[in-house]
A and B are shown apart, each in its own frame.
Chain A
Amino acid sequence: KQEVTQIPAALSVPEGENLVLNCSFTDSAIYNLQWFRQDPGKGLTSLLLIQSSQREQTSGRLNASLDKSSGRSTLYIAASQPGDSATYLCAVRNSGNTPLVFGKGTRLSVIA
């Protein structure tokens, strides 16, 4: 059974700092991995998707990497801003269109 772990559960950083969020998964035979953002009381917003054949994806100040063999992904946020404060969720899919398996998320606070 696939299990996804995100450490730390919470993180507080000063504005402007570069930071890395970690995600690990137990079964390396994944189809793809998706990072989401969730603001308090809101739904999930898709940030980045990495296919199993890819090593990284970038969108603006966000960069997600994937090391499938070691069962790890990282989300790098450059020059953090208070508006980046949210919970970040990592999820993996084991084959096409199968349901995602989620980690419990990392709650990020960026302090001005």
Chain B
Amino acid sequence: DAGITQSPRHKVTETGTPVTLRCHQTENHRYMYWYRQDPGHGLRLIHYSYGVKDTDKGEVSDGYSVSRSKTEDFLLTLESATSSQTSVYFCAISESRGQADTQYFGPGTRLTVL
């Protein structure tokens, strides 16, 4: 599992509340990613990071912000949660072995916005 943990694993919240999801890795990987997975849409990239304080937007970044103040932690924040953000959120890292960059995923966070 490349030492990736996500917290919380499940969360139920109400519309309009802020929510922060945490991804933690133990192996000093430089690249980290946040995806969401929804029926009919598959996995879509929200934001990614290529180093401490270095982040970029993905395909579905509206309504989300991220921060990476330490190599091991990548935080995803929903500033004001909406029902359309009900989803399963996956964190991933990219590991380079020789010339191969392999992506590994965390266990996911199931978020329900009521």
Contact = CB atoms under 8 A, between A and B. Distances in A.
Contacts of A89: 42-43
- Most B CB contacts (10 A, CB to CB) among A31, A44, A46, A51 go to A44
Contact of B94 (A43, A44, A97): A97
Interface residues of A, number: 22
A100 interface: yes
Given A97-B94, A99-B48, A99-B58, A32 B107 contact: no
Contact of A51 (B45, B99, B105, B107): B99
B41 A104 contact: yes
Contacts of B35: 102
A93 B48 CA distance: 14
B88 to A, nearest CB: 9
Contact of A32 (B90, B100, B105): B100
Contacts of B74: none
Interface in B100-114: 100-108
A45 B104 CA distance: 7
A99 B108 contact: no
Interface in B44-86: 44-45, 48, 50, 58
A43 B107 contact: yes
B58 A46 contact: no
Interface of A: 31-32, 34, 36, 42-46, 49, 51, 89, 91, 93, 96-97, 99-100, 102-105
5 contacts: A89-B42, A89-B43, A96-B101, A97-B94, A100-B92
